[in-house]
A and B are shown apart, each in its own frame.
Chain A
């Protein structure tokens, strides 16, 4: 019997979310056959198993956060055997119908033996009777009903009730805590009888044992079937969870400030019209983004602090100036926001950047981007041009120190030298980490970008 552990799946990745098992217990697998889908950062990768054999047991559940080196499955290596017979569905109590004078299904006599070896999986075959398998989780009937109705597997819920063997009884509050945290781990500081075990049944629980909020799992006898549910509770999983964690981390770590400006971009519009024709010859559609990327790179070179990152060290913190200009482009996908990265944007042509943007965003929307394509950005651009709005105050793609929002271009009456005329304008906005980028620097940085976009000649002069 060998353990299948989560292998090192790429540069620096230490953990990921187990999105999907591609095999189940009993399956026979070949070496290098993909067996799990793991989401790291925001890319989903299929991880192959190094040796072939029979999967004996799965040790992690879909939705679990798994770490490199963690045991995910037990595998019996070697010759592929036919899938072992699984625990059968509860057998009908033995009956001796053949015998004329026996009592085939005389009820009570059948009850004691009807306990099956394994718990019936959801909607498994059923032939009547109770079940108390050795891996049963001790919990009161109402807690079990709540878990069942919430679709929670009680064996995944850490119990804090009195110990029964090596296992703590799962209490109502344990389940509520679990539901509140998505499929979260035991909260630090959650009251646990485990440490003071064994059996301090009547010990007063610590003060903080009450769950903060009580969700409303539908566990009362009456299901109030006719009444529409007032809410639906869905555990936050996958990309949404990653985004939530990243956004909280950024907003709670970096003191954000916003900076907004508007500039005339009539010349940029004309330039892009011309560029489109060129791009068409290469089969590449040219948006405004490649120009903006180039303008940003120019400005970053002028203000290296905006291309820097703050890193906590033992002695305090270091400002790490990045020498690569990797520009993240925020892309909306059906599952949520993903940020593919244009690596070394300073060394690529406008055409290359345009092509890369369209390729990467296509891959991201199809969920096919690799982990490598989603990491390493040093500054991020988010475009809301096709949505509308005046401007937004984006959240920094931490640990970067700045993010730029670009918005729709529109015709406006403008004035120059006392004369009114119609021109094209665009809003841009920035959020900066004030720990690193002061207000003045942010403003100058914005000006540096505007200077390049307003006056494409300036932009072109910098091209390599």
Chain B
């Protein structure tokens, strides 16, 4: 006996569960299929657990430099298993909360791997839920298989850690982000393969525990195409902490010599071989879309040349009634991007004109210090036809930053010279993951730099740097000496 639903969501990550709840709110009879754990990568192995550890890492830092503030800890030590437990409890609370929210909204949850069976003549999609056997990553099924019928299907199966033929995650000498989050023994030394976001976030955490860190990156710099000035601040700090960075270097092999004894073999640009001894290596070389388990060939859903599901701006695949959101369609692999797509996707069901329309997609990297950004960089703004001007304010000029003991970094705003429209922000420093949202709001509202500059910002707070950076766009910041001549803003005569 198969149940028929208006909307069936495959995957209960930050894209899928949000879409399912919104669909239920809108009166659709909704089901969600999850083969592993509620909350997906973000809640179980990504954003949440890593931030629990990283926040603790900051505390460790502060404690260790406590003398500077007059705080003396005589018997300080880190109990890693206890920390990992605490982190696990946060995850449990959040994932449990999602299960309850889904239930409270009347969403039927199926435990198992969802795979397409067919599209019936009337357009109904037939989906098999494989619950009798374990799913990927050892996810437990319900014990029996089910068949669900759906009018509309939202694919939200996300992504998984990429591997290479010569580099596989084995959980012993090569760990993925998921495995690294459950390490209970502090390693003496680790090698991060891939100096991207995940590798640097987790790698930095281990340095707080006293672990020695080396990073091997194929490109010529860290963090891909993130604003170079921001990356420089982080890179300087990593170097200060003794982290060794290998750029334009390619890992050739990881050799296991038994428990805690691993050798990472690499080759630099010149072809010189390097061998690094470590406890284990952390492989973070990107993520791949999770499509294999869906049996998309049975219904003819098309992928692009990089294996992501092809969708249009209404998040429709080539098969009517099959939609896709989140990591599995590519683009920025961010939980909040997936959630937004989930909401828009459900909205398209009720209105033929709705499509994705976001001007600003904020993001944050939880390295030390944090980097965050939204909207255009100077280069992309120019490429999009704007005439960008920069306003900048260092945290060293901010009273609040000094009182928290963290004053490295800056806020940089990008505005359009002619219209004064705010186009983007890139920032590095304390709490910038929380600061970036003000600029995201301003961009979505079509605000000008002057709008932000004229908005009163409470003192003493970190967001004052955003106000000063906005003033600096016109050469009018008060707490930085402006060498450049003030430019005329749109409201120049009101000055």
- Report the nearest A residue to B358, measured CB to CB: A130
A86 at the interface (CB under 8 A from B): no
Q: How many A-B residue pairs have CB under 8 A?
A: 273
Residues of B within 8 A of A117 (CB): 383-385
Tell me the smallest distance from the CB of B342 to a CB of chain A, in Å. 13
Closest A residue to B313 by beta carbon equals A126
Chain B residue at minimal CB-CB distance from A223? B350
Kindly state the separation between the CA atoms of A397 and B347 in the bound complex, as whole angstroms: 46
The answer for the CA separation of A94 and B381 in the assembled complex, in Å, is 17
> Is the Cβ of A100 less than 8 Å from the Cβ of B218?
yes
Which of A59-67, A147-155, A345-353 interfaces with chain B? A147-155
Q: Judging by beta carbons under 8 Å apart, are B285 and A104 in contact? A: yes
Q: For A219, give the chain B residue with the smallest CB separation.
A: B351
Kindly state the separation between the CA atoms of A114 and B332 in the bound complex, as whole angstroms.
Answer: 8
How many whole Å from B263's CB to the nearest CB in chain A?
16
The answer to whether A102 has its CB under 8 Å from any CB of chain B is yes
Is residue A103 contacting chain B, with contact meaning CB distance below 8 A?
yes
Q: Smallest CB-CB separation from B362: which chain A residue?
A: A111
Q: Is A68 an interface residue (CB 8 A)?
A: no
Q: Does A185 contact B (CB under 8 A)?
A: no
- Known contacts A107-B363, A111-B373; A141/B25 CB under 8 A: no
Nearest CB in chain A to that of B417: its residue? A165
- A111 / chain B contacts, CB cutoff of 8 Å: 332, 334, 361-363, 373-374
Assess the A135–B385 pair: CB atoms within 8 A.
yes
Q: Interface size bucket, B side?
A: 35 or more
- Chain B binder among A33-41, A224-232, A372-380: A224-232
Q: How far is the CA of A100 from the CA of B346 in the complex (A)?
A: 37
In the complex, are the beta carbons of B167 and A115 less than 8 A apart? no
Asked if B28 is at the interface (CB within 8 A of a chain A CB), the reply is yes
Within 8 Å CB of A164, what residues of B? 419-421, 446, 448, 490
- Using an 8 Å CB-CB cutoff, how does the interface string of A135-171 with B read, 1 for contact, 0 for none? 1111111001100111100000000000111110100
User: Separation in Å of the A200 CB from the closest CB of chain B?
Assistant: 9
Cβ-neighbour of A112 out of B331, B349, B354, B377 (below 8 A): B377
The residue from A102, A105, A136, A225 contacting B219, defined by CB atoms under 8 A apart: A102
A103 cross-chain contacts in B, Cβ below 8 A: 194-199, 224, 284-286
A316 within 8 A of B: no
Residues of B contacting A197 with CB < 8 Å?
A: 490
Q: Do B385 and A134 touch across chains, with their CB atoms under 8 A apart?
A: yes
**Is B128's CB within 8 Å of the partner chain A?**
no
Q: Determine if B224 and A132 form an interchain contact, defined as CB atoms under 8 angstroms apart.
A: no
Q: Are B217 and A102 in contact (CB under 8 A)?
A: yes
A124 part of interface (Cβ distance < 8 Å): yes
A131/B358 in contact, CB under 8 A: yes
Contact between B353 and A132, CB atoms less than 8 A apart: no
Nearest CB of chain A from residue B451's CB, rounded to whole Å: 8
Q: Mark A212-237, 1 if CB is under 8 A from B, else 0.
A: 00000010011111110000000000
B162 touches A104 (CB 8 A): yes
Q: Nearest-CB distance from B366 to chain A (Å)?
A: 10
Chain B residues near A148: list those with CB within 8 A: 353-355, 357
> Which of B85-93, B114-122, B303-311, B403-411 binds A?
B303-311
How does the 8 Å CB contact mask read for A199-210 relative to B, with 1 for contact and 0 for none? 101000000000
Other-chain residue from B316, B361, B421 in contact with A123 (beta carbon distance below 8 A): B316
User: Are B329 and A165 in contact, with the CB atoms below 8 A?
Assistant: no
Give the distance to chain B from A220, nearest Cβ to Cβ, in Å.
10
B481 to chain A, nearest CB (A): 26
* B contacts, CB < 8 Å to A: 22, 25-28, 159, 162, 164, 166-167, 193-199, 216-219, 223-227, 249-251, 266, 284-287, 304, 306, 308, 310-316, 329-334, 337, 341, 343, 346-347, 349-365, 371, 373-377, 380-381, 383-386, 416, 418-421, 423-424, 426, 443-448, 450-451, 454, 490-491, 493-494
19 residue pairs bridging A and B, Cβ less than 8 Å apart: A96-B218, A97-B286, A101-B195, A102-B194, A107-B333, A110-B224, A111-B374, A117-B383, A120-B356, A126-B314, A126-B329, A129-B332, A131-B359, A138-B446, A148-B353, A164-B448, A199-B490, A224-B26, A226-B26
